[in-house]
Amino acid sequence: MYYHDQNDVLQLYPYVKNTATNHVHFEGNFLHDVANDNLPGYPQLYAAGAAQYYYELERYRDAEQALSRLRPATRNLAVWVLAATLNAAAGHRLQALDALQAARRSGQYLWKPYCQAAALYSALGLPDDAAAISAEIASHGSSACPTIDH
């Protein structure tokens, strides 16, 4: 069974994070269970949650491994932005830009991930793209993303 909610694959993230915490601290390697589909229900959801969980722990290699379990068709805006963040942190500029383009093509207009994407564009030295993505979210009824003055 695969999780296909295109609104937000991370909507159950607190549950996934709690499950990940329990596995990491009490039951062994959560990432191993994700990789082997040993978790009940929605393996794509667990993969996304595991990627976010390991990213927060600054375990970038584990986060990338968990993210690689997500089929591209099930990735949504938030997951593509997470992929871009991981790639940027690892110094993979082209992969980060590819993930940001996929995020923009997702057809989803959620303020927080869009503004995270704008911040990534800015960090990658692309202020015009940062401004464009901020304008995109504003044109869909949200406020524009905050800017960082250098």
Number of structural domains in the chain: 2
**The domain containing residue 69 runs over which residues?**
1-75
The reply to whether 111 and 141 lie within a common domain is yes
Angle at 3 between CA 38 and CA 82, to 5 degrees: 90
Residues 100 and 148 in one domain: yes
The residues, ordered by sequence, that sit 6+ positions from 88 with a Cβ below 8 Å of its Cβ are 96, 120, 123, 124
Task: At 44, list the tokens.
Answer: 């794509």
Are 51 and 106 members of one domain?
A: no
- pLDDT tops 50 at residue 1: no
The tens digit of pLDDT for each residue in 121-145 reads 998 999 999 999 888 888 888 787 8
68 and 19: one domain? Answer: yes
Each residue of 115-149: b (16+ CB within 10 Å) or e? bbbbbbbbebebeebbbebbebbeeeebebbeeee
Domain boundary among 18, 53, 75: 75
Report how far residue 80's alpha carbon sits from residue 105's, in angstroms, rounded to the nearest whole number: 10
The domain boundary residue, chosen from 47, 75, 103: 75
pLDDT digit string, tens, across residues 68-110: 777 666 677 878 888 888 888 888 899 889 989 988 888 888 8
Residues 90 and 28 in one domain: no
Within this chain, do residues 71 and 109 fall inside the same structural domain, yes or no?
no
Residues 129 and 98 in one domain: yes
DSSP state of 124: T
Q: Give the separation between CA 69 and CA 71, rounded to whole angstroms.
A: 6
Shared-domain flag, residues 85 and 127: yes
pTM exceeds 0.75, yes or no: no
